[in-house]
């Protein structure tokens, strides 16, 4: 439900960016190229927060809810809003100087559990994630960043036709992207939920970090 439409969006963003990478594009298209790169980076990250929110709802209950129960009780609009803000902040940071992107990715890695488990709104979920992460910044960094970066690399690799042996064409690329995201996204979601619960339930064990 999440990654089938997002796979199409990601491929569309890549197709729109490709003409702007040619040398003959000229300086007049620099702004358009930056915008396209931002869109491509954003498309690659879309869905991670929503999926993590769904995982949070599933693993924190007494038993796994049905799809119908999830759709009725999940704060889906808030998760989508948080997902979009998170994607834009991280993508802008990655395009700007790279390093801020990884810092933002770490600070706000726990926004989905903040929405689902504690019921925070959009702005409050970012504040809550930063509040928890700054206590153990490097712990969160070394757990979240390799999972996210590795997942995105796998998703990129999944778009290679030879990787999945799905043939040629846009539909094959779409299918490969969906499969790769289905493999790559669960580790991030589970790590985010576990970190959120651990940092929330044991605040006395966390030492404030310098970041």
Task: State residue 35's pLDDT score.
Answer: 54
Task: State residue 173's pLDDT score.
Answer: 72
Q: How far apart are alpha carbons 183 and 105 in whole angstroms?
A: 20
Task: State residue 169's pLDDT score.
Answer: 66
| Apex 173 CA angle, 168 and 177, nearest 5 | 155
Task: State residue 129's pLDDT score.
Answer: 94
Q: What is the pTM (predicted TM-score) of this model?
A: 0.73
Contacts with 137 (C-beta within 8 Å, 6 or more apart), sequence order: 106, 107, 209, 210, 211
pLDDT < 70 stretches in the chain: 6-46, 61-67, 71, 97, 155-170, 203-211
């Amino acid at each position: 439900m999440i990654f089938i439409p997002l796979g199409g969006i990601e491929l569309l963003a890549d197709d729109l960016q490709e003409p702007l990478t040619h040398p003959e594009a000229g300086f007049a298209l620099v702004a358009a190229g930056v915008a396209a790169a931002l869109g491509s980076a954003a498309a690659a990250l879309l869905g991670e927060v929503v999926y993590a929110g769904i995982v949070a709802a599933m693993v924190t209950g007494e038993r796994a809810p049905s799809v119908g129960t999830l759709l009725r009780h999940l704060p889906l609009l808030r998760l989508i809003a948080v997902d979009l803000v998170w994607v834009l902040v991280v993508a802008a940071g990655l395009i700007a100087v790279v390093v801020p992107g990884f810092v933002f990715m770490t600070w706000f890695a726990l926004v989905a559990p903040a929405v689902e488990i504690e019921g925070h709104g959009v702005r409050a979920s970012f504040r809550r994630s930063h509040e928890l992460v700054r206590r153990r910044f490097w712990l969160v960094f070394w757990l979240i960043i390799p999972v996210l970066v590795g997942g995105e690399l796998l998703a990129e690799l999944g778009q290679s036709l030879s990787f999945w042996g799905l043939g040629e064409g846009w539909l094959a690329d779409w299918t490969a992207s969906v499969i790769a995201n289905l493999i790559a996204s669960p580790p991030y979601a589970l790590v985010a939920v576990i970190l959120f619960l651990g940092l929330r339930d044991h605040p006395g064990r966390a030492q404030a970090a310098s970041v």
